Every structure is written in structure tokens, then in C-alpha cells.
Copies of this chain bind each other. A is one copy, B any other.
Amino acid sequence: MANQLSGLDQIFSALADPTRRAIVMRLCAGEASVGELADPFEMALPSFMKHIHVLETSGLVQSEKSGRVRTCRLSPDALVGAEDWFQQQRATWEARLDRFEAYVMKLKKEKEGAAAKRPSRASKRKGAK
């Protein structure tokens, strides 16, 4: 559990940066070299490599060097793990809404039940005749 939490710390921290999110988005479409990934950004290579390093440390990205080219690919498990966290929260939230809806429906039925038992104005007038 501690490891999982620590993993989520690193994954969310890695994704809290637009450059790193853009790299992940690019890698979802397929592997790419560091040069290709860096191309859209006006950034010095050492700064860009720091982003790659953060993504690798978080487990979101893996890279491999062949000759002079370092190729990066996504590790989808880390992405799925983070998405799972959101789904768990949504499930809790939706269960709460369901309970709330059931409670409101119960109140509504009780109110309708009480109104049915209460004599209407018309029947009160009839009784008065």
C-alpha cells in the first residue's frame, strides 16, 4: 500500500507539468526518440532530459539507448493505475449520490403517504354538509 501510494505521488507529480503531459500524450500514439519528443518544445536538451528523467522515475515512461538514439515508450500500467484511482473515487461519489437519491425518494413517498391519509379540502367540505 505504501509503495502504491508512493507510486501515485510520483505519477501525479510527473503529470503536474504541461511538458511532461504532452510527452505522455505523444507516447500514447507510439514510441519516439528523445529528439522527436523534444522537437515541439523550445527547450535546451538538458532541461528536456530532466522531464524525461522525472517521467522514467514515475514509471510512466521507459527509455532505451541504441547507438546515439534514445527511444522512449509509454508504460501504460502506471497510467492505468492512476486512472483506477479516479475510478475508485467516482464509485464512492456515485454510491453517495445513489444513497442520497434513495433518501429523497423515501422522503417523497412518506410525504405522499401522509397526504393520502389526510382528508382533502373537498372531503372536509362534504363532511361539513
Chain A positions within 8 Å of B, measured between CB atoms, are 5, 8-10, 12-13, 15-18, 21, 24-25, 28-30, 74, 76, 79-80, 82-83, 85-90, 92-93, 96
Beta-carbon nearest neighbor of A100 in chain B: B30
A-B contact pairs, 14 of them (CB 8 A): A8-B15, A12-B12, A28-B93, A28-B96, A29-B96, A30-B96, A74-B93, A76-B93, A79-B86, A79-B93, A82-B86, A83-B83, A83-B87, A86-B86
- Main SS class of interface, A: helix
Q: Which residues of B contact A93 (CB under 8 A)?
A: 28, 74, 76, 79
User: Given the complex of chains A and B, what is the CA–CA distance between A96 and B18 in angstroms?
Assistant: 22
User: Given the complex of chains A and B, what is the CA–CA distance between A53 and B15 in angstroms?
Assistant: 20
Most buried by B among A5, A80, A89: A89
